[in-house]
Structure 1
């Protein structure tokens, strides 16, 4: 029985030209696309990567899996144009309503800081998320904010024992566990896809990423003994059944299922 809803989440972002100008990383007279390109080129020359600072990102998509006693659902909040504040608020509204177990891969290092900054910019409210014991005493001992608490479980951070040098890519771990891994694109292609009007493709990519994260969370629960081998197998069956239903509606789930190899049998004691 699922006592606490489980929300696995992942976000996709694009550079925010206004933030780049405010940070002095782009010339004020440039249009948005040119400002981003200038900042990316400077960043690439300086660091070897064109990925721009977290505080200069804006949220385009937030994808979630939602697992409770009724089953498994997948949903995305998407900025279709000028709706970023609403998208961020909708995500935190889920936390406000359900007080779920949050699960991410590098959510503490990227996704949540981005959501914090953009929530601040847009005047988003999220009192339950930010509660560290001031309103609910229980939150003092297990809240969403403290790194070593588990109400938000950053799987990458935990599996690396909080050592950045031990961090591993989600895509590689997913494939090693027999899951499909990344499909469609990767984060470096999101901005160009957005410029080409392919927001729906970005949403599909984000959804498959968050499904990989949920499956890795299930494997982690098996490893730590929270799921028995039979319970794990049942959960995998539920995921496959859920995706089979969705595959009738959207092609990316058909592709995902086709790429899903047979899972290695769990090691039994």
Structure 2
């Protein structure tokens, strides 16, 4: 198992909004964002900003390499890292380790956002975009193909690739006895970002990556890749790491153990 389960957190790209809406520099970032929300509501009926106008503020990941007995939970870069550095470091990790990417709605949101931000910042990601031209192993199983497992979008797979059957990560996690959102959601990220609470955003993003990875373990058991003993062993790897983790990870563990139905 060589897996990278990840999640991203984003805010409105106010610089892009200024360009596309022809807004002056005299407007604050908050005012520009409100104009972007209003434009989006006018167009779609909701204010969820389009993927190409989302700016990445955090990418958190759970990495598990069972062959090397490695497990880690972290957020890429530092609180003051630039978006371009965060995105480049993410793709550099793929170049180095070629993991199976695991997401919840990664095909619909996380990866398209990262594609656009990489394009805008001139980020190189040759391994990620490999489609078999240089490595034939990627011809029938690559990161881009919807029905390939090199990127496993759990929401898409579990719904049978039927968007009418899509389910929220939070609800599936809770049904499995996992903590879920723990009092925060992506809807709070913009307000927390404006308040300078970057660490809180990063901590929240890590818990979403953990929920995603733990759902992935259940899916691996369902498809016969882990037996009951293997599932418990992999869950214990996670628990052991969280016991020595930062306060938000210990809180995740406590919530998991209190609600666990494993």
Interval containing the TM-score (normalised by the shorter chain): over 0.9
- Cα distance in 2 between the residues matched to 1:169 and 1:225: 24
The equivalent of 2:3 in structure 1 is 6
Q: RMSD of the alignment, in Å?
A: 1.5
What's 1:58 paired with?
A: 55
Given candidates 5, 22, 30, the residue that maps to 1:33 is 30
Deviation of 1:43 (Å)? 2.6
Which residue of 2 is the match for residue 113 of structure 1?
A: 112
SS where residue 43 of structure 1 aligns?
Answer: helix
Q: Per-residue displacement from partner, 1:205-244 (whole Å, max 9, x unpaired)?
A: 0000000000000000010100000000111111111101
- Show the counterpart of 1:147: 146
**Cα distance between partner residues in 1 of 2:10 and 2:188:** 11
Output the CA distance in 2 between the equivalents of 1:238 and 1:184: 25
What is aligned with 1:208?
207
> What's 1:71 paired with?
70
Q: What secondary structure sits across from 1:131 in the alignment? A: coil
Verify the 8 A CA contact 2:40 2:47 in the aligned structure 1: yes
What SS class does the counterpart of residue 117 from structure 1 fall into?
A: helix
TM-score, with normalisation over the residues of structure 2?
0.94
Match of 1:259 among 235, 238, 255: 255
Give 1:262 shift.
4.8
- Structure 1 residue runs of 4 or more that deviate by more than 6 Å after TM superposition: none
| Paired positions, count | 258
When structure 1 is superposed on structure 2, of 121-130 and 68-77 the one drifting more is 68-77
Offset of 1:252 from its aligned partner?
0.8
Distance across 2 between alignment mates of 1:157 and 1:194: 29
Question: 1:22 and 2:7 equivalent?
Answer: no
Question: How far, CA to CA, are the matches of 1:168 and 1:256 in structure 2?
Answer: 22
> Which string of whole-angstrom CA distances, capped at 9 and with x for unpartnered residues, describes residues 62-119 of structure 1?
0011101323101111464461111000000110001111100001100000100000
Could you tell me which residue of structure 2 aligns to residue 134 of structure 1?
133
* In structure 2, C-alpha distance between the alignment counterparts of 1:185 and 1:135, rounded to whole Å: 43
Cα distance in 2 for residues equivalent to 1:262 and 1:12: 26
